[in-house]
Copies of this chain bind each other. A is one copy, B any other.
Amino acid sequence: MVSAKNLQPAIAERRLAELGIVLPPVPTPLGAYVESLQTGKLLYLSGVLPVVAGRPIFTGRLGKELDVEQGRTAARTATLNALSAAREELGSLDKVTRVVKLTVYLAAQEDFLAHAKVADGASEMLRDVFGEDKLPVRMVLGVASLPLGVPVVVEVLFEVDA
């Protein structure tokens, strides 16, 4: 439990630079929706896919065609796309005051058990950028299928300066 009073100042843009991360272009909606939307102090993002230049870096199921390490890579790639969508909306990721919630959807075999390990690919990226004291709550689940046949979709809810 972290009190809002004790949160460190925003360091996200500096941390990105230190990590040598250049955010990818903003993701493009696959239908009639928007990638980001702010209401009050909450910034909602659409589910983001592990795509680079509009193409999935992997397709297939975890535990079948794809292994845990590929799942973690997909989770990190999707998270970078989420950060890009957030920056586009906010102007700067330093306006993020907290990562509120992370949901990670995995297209995985029924007997898959490494949900937490794959989801940590996204969680650790968020921690590296926003800091340990801004970690979100999390839900991770194995699903039957995801858009474009990707193995991972990441959904992030941020708290931002209003």
Interface residues of chain A, those whose CB is within 8 Å of chain B, are: 1-2, 29-37, 39-42, 44-47, 61, 88-89, 98, 100-103, 105-113, 115-117, 119-120, 123-124, 126-127, 135-149, 153, 155, 159
Contacts and interface: CB of A to CB of B under 8 A. Distances in A.
A40 B40 contact: yes
A120 B29 CA distance: 11
A88 to B, nearest CB: 7
A145 B148 contact: no
The 5 closest A-B pairs by CB, nearest first: A142-B145, A33-B138, A32-B123, A47-B139, A30-B116
Given A40-B40, A46-B137, A137-B45, A113 B33 contact: no
A140 B98 CA distance: 25
14 contacts: A30-B116, A31-B119, A32-B135, A36-B137, A37-B101, A39-B41, A39-B159, A44-B137, A47-B140, A105-B139, A108-B144, A112-B144, A113-B147, A142-B144
A120 B145 CA distance: 17
B33 A136 contact: yes
Given A1-B88, A39-B98, A139-B153, A148 B113 contact: yes
Given A107-B110, A115-B146, 7 more contacts: A31-B116, A31-B123, A35-B137, A37-B137, A108-B144, A113-B149, A116-B147
A91 B135 CA distance: 21
A160 to B, nearest CB: 10
Contact of A135 (B33, B115, B117): B33
